Each structure stands twice: as structure tokens, then as C-alpha cells.
């Protein structure tokens, strides 16, 4: 779902199949250490051990695309180059060790200097969720469409096109979904003059 706000974006997103979090007093465990708990990157500190294991597996499967691991609150996350998004999502969907067959949600965030597309992928079989992020140019916002990977991407991409002006190359029909033909501007962007707009 596309989103924008005059405040800094809050990227928290509900996880419909989130297990109970680990106790607050339990330190994250480094799987490569035989001495027990050790320090981890601050961005990964909220990930449970199974989710950190998933992030390691994702990094291995997507290694050729240069994924940058991280965390979105307590969800594993990878950032990838825009030109690789279709190949990354296809691999995440088809690899039997990942099995992300569902595009759970897709959103756009306006950071004013650039856009960021955020994809929430879900595996029903494994009950796991992965976040994939891609940075998009503000001057020429364009990305390959994911409609060839998930049909559900069609309306999400039309929404992002309506509200943020992002062009999705290969999309079958980017006609307005929320707005009307001839609407001027992109109301999802922070720069959109809401208080000056008048509807006739």
C-alpha cells in the first residue's frame, strides 16, 4: 500500500504470522560463535535467531545480486539494486529453501531526495516474511514491473504510479487506479500542495 506523510516515514509494518518475540533479556546469538552470545549489528538486534538464520540463507541465495542485509524492526530485510529487483524476487519465489510465493504488501516511501519501494514477501509453507527494499531516483522514478512474478503487483504498482509517479516498465496497464484521467501532480509526494488543491 502506498504511503506518505509530512513526518519522517515510520516503516513499521504488521507481520500477520509473527511468532512471540524472544524475551527482552536474551542476547542475540552469533551462530558462528562457540562461546555463546556475542554482539551483533544494532539493526539486527531485534531479529530472533530463526529470522537471523533466514537472513543468512537469503544472503547466500541472492549473493550474485549484492544484497545488503538489515532489519525492519523485527523482520529480516535486504536492499538490492533497482535493476535486479525482478531477478531477486523471482529467485526468492522459486528457490525451494525460501519459497516466497506471496507478495504480501508493496509500498512506496518518499524521502524527498529519493523514493524507496518496499516489498513484503511471505512464505505460507514456511510461515516467514522477508522485506526487500529498492531505492528509486527522484528525478526519473522508474522500476521494472513485478507483474511477471506476482499478479498481485499489478494494483500495487498502479497505486504507486498514481500517488508517486513511479513508472513500472513492463506493466500491462498503468491507467489510474485511485485518481482520474487528467489529475495533475502526485498526491503521495511530500511536496504535493494539499492545501492549495481545489476539486471542481
Span 92-102, pLDDT tens digits: 999 999 999 99
**CB of 66 within 8 A of CB of 85?**
no
Q: Which residues pair with 117 in a beta bridge?
A: 108, 134
Q: Which residues pair with 121 in a beta bridge?
A: 103, 130
Q: How confident is the model at residue 41 (pLDDT cuts 50, 70, 90)?
A: low
Tell me the whole-structure pTM to 2 decimals: 0.75
pLDDT given at position 30: 44
Q: How confident is the model at residue 69 (pLDDT cuts 50, 70, 90)?
A: very high
pLDDT given at position 17: 44
Q: How confident is the model at residue 172 (pLDDT cuts 50, 70, 90)?
A: very high
For residues 38 and 7, the model is more confident at: 7
42-196, what's its fold? Answer: Beta Polymerase; domain 2 (3.30.460)
Spans of all domains in the chain: 42-196
pLDDT digits (tens, 9 = 90+) for 126-163: 999 999 999 999 999 999 999 999 999 999 999 999 99
pLDDT given at position 197: 54
Q: How far is CA 162 from CA 20, 21, 137, 156, 183, in A?
A: 37, 37, 17, 10, 9
CB count, 10 Å around CB of 91?
18
CA distance 162 to 110: 14
Q: How confident is the model at residue 196 (pLDDT cuts 50, 70, 90)?
A: low
Q: How confident is the model at residue 114 (pLDDT cuts 50, 70, 90)?
A: very high
Which residue, among 188, 194, 17, 14, has the nearest Cα to 116 in the 3D structure?
188
Q: How confident is the model at residue 51 (pLDDT cuts 50, 70, 90)?
A: very high
Q: How confident is the model at residue 12 (pLDDT cuts 50, 70, 90)?
A: very low
For residue 78, is it left (φ>0), alpha (ψ between -120 and 50) or beta?
beta
pLDDT given at position 15: 47
**CB of 141 within 8 A of CB of 163?**
no
Average pLDDT over residues 64-77: 96
For residue 67, what are the contacts with CB-CB under 8 A and spacing of at least 6? 58, 59, 78, 79, 80, 88
CA distance 119 to 100: 11
pLDDT given at position 21: 44
Find where cell 533466514 sits.
Answer: 54
Amino acid at each position: 500500500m502506498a504511503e506518505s506523510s509530512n513526518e519522517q516515514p515510520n516503516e513499521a509494518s504488521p507481520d500477520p504470522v509473527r511468532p512471540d518475540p524472544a524475551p527482552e533479556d536474551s542476547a542475540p546469538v552469533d551462530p558462528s560463535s562457540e562461546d555463546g552470545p556475542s554482539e551483533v549489528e544494532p539493526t539486527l538486534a531485534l531479529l530472533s535467531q530463526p529470522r537471523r538464520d533466514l537472513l543468512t540463507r537469503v544472503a547466500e541465495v541472492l549473493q550474485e545480486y549484492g544484497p545488503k542485509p538489515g532489519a525492519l524492526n523485527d523482520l529480516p530485510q535486504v536492499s538490492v539494486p533497482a535493476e535486479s529487483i525482478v531477478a531477486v524476487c523471482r529467485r526468492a519465489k522459486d528457490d525451494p529453501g525460501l519459497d516466497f510465493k506471496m507478495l504480501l504488501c508493496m509500498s512506496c516511501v518518499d524521502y524527498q531526495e529519493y523514493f524507496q519501494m518496499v516489498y513484503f514477501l511471505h512464505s505460507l509453507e514456511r510461515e516467514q516474511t522477508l522485506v526487500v527494499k529498492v531505492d528509486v531516483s527522484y528525478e526519473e522514478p522508474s522500476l521494472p514491473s513485478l507483474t511477471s512474478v506476482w499478479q498481485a503487483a499489478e494494483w500495487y504498482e498502479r497505486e504507486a504510479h498514481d500517488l508517486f509517479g513511479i513508472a513500472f516498465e513492463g506493466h500491462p496497464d498503468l491507467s489510474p487506479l485511485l485518481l482520474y484521467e487528467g489529475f495533475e501532480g502526485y498526491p503521495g509526494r511530500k511536496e504535493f500542495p494539499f492545501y492549495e488543491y481545489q476539486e471542481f
